[in-house]
A and B are shown apart, each in its own frame.
Chain A
Amino acid sequence: MGTELLDATFAALADPTRRAILARLAAGEATVTELAAPFAMSQPAISKHLKVLERAGLVSRGRDAQRRPCRLEARPLREATAWLADYRDYWAESYQRLDALLDELQAVEQTDAERQGAQVDGASG
């Protein structure tokens, strides 16, 4: 996937309205009117968002001149998701080491608490 297209994909996904439009299109194609309905937005505003999504290759428009239904194009989304997955894996090891360290710190803290408890018991007994 080209760098520019990836930038366009992430830029397109950065907006909550556009993510909601994609979520709606995941359920099947829809016209601009149908897409505008659930949002407190004018059709021109929705059309603007659709243009951004189209440029990113996330949405395509049907040829029917009357309706021009919008359709979700899943491929760029899958590729953007792959970048996120790779970034995630890049850091996962570090957090796994932190898991082990925290287990150790907790065990030490518990031992200290027990020792202190024993001392207090000893003092009072």
Chain B
Amino acid sequence: MTGVDDPLVVHTPGDREIVLSRLFDAPAHLVFAAFTEPRLLVRWYGARGWRLAECDVDLRVGGRWRFVSRGPEGARMVQAGVYRRIEPPHRLVCTELFDDQSYPGETLVSHEFTELAGRTTVTTTLRYATPEGRDTVLRYPMARGVGQSYTRLAELLHPTTTMRGETP
């Protein structure tokens, strides 16, 4: 799945995986740093509407990481895990578990950084504990999007009660 002007590719090679692939115009050691250093992670990490508020990284095999994100309408989300493989600047593997996760089990997240002529392809494989978990995650953005647009529609259909109160 490729957008017109964004080179991010998403595919689902098995029933438990989501694979994201993206080319960056920078050498692998910088990309690896951006994926592992908190001061850099806070500047870019986060899906639509979400940004990192706290970021702890203990970058060694068996070390823990923990991200706290702030999202739409003050929502708070905590995800954490343990590093399994650290091979700078080529590979980073960790587990991931959300605090209020609606599907069972840890997800194994593997990032591969492949540099060619000063540019780096990042391939992230998210391997879920179950196929149902994978499908839940895949549906999440659209489910949220639908929820948000329904909220906007509701607001539109009920032009604020406060305004009615303000009329003399």
Contact = CB atoms under 8 A, between A and B. Distances in A.
Given A7-B135, A98-B24, A106 B10 contact: no
B116 interface: no
Contact of A97 (B1, B44, B142): B44
Contacts of A103: 25-26
Contacts of A98: 24, 31, 34, 44
Interface residues of A, number: 33
Contacts of A86: 141-142, 145
A84 B6 contact: no
A37 interface: no
Interface of B: 1, 3, 6, 8-15, 18, 20, 22, 24-27, 30-31, 33-34, 40, 43-48, 131-132, 134-135, 137-142, 145
17 contacts: A7-B132, A10-B131, A10-B134, A10-B138, A11-B131, A81-B1, A84-B12, A87-B142, A88-B3, A94-B44, A94-B47, A95-B44, A99-B25, A102-B24, A102-B25, A102-B34, A105-B26
* Pairs of residues from A and B, 5 with the lowest C-beta to C-beta distance, nearest first: A90-B141, A102-B26, A97-B44, A14-B15, A98-B44
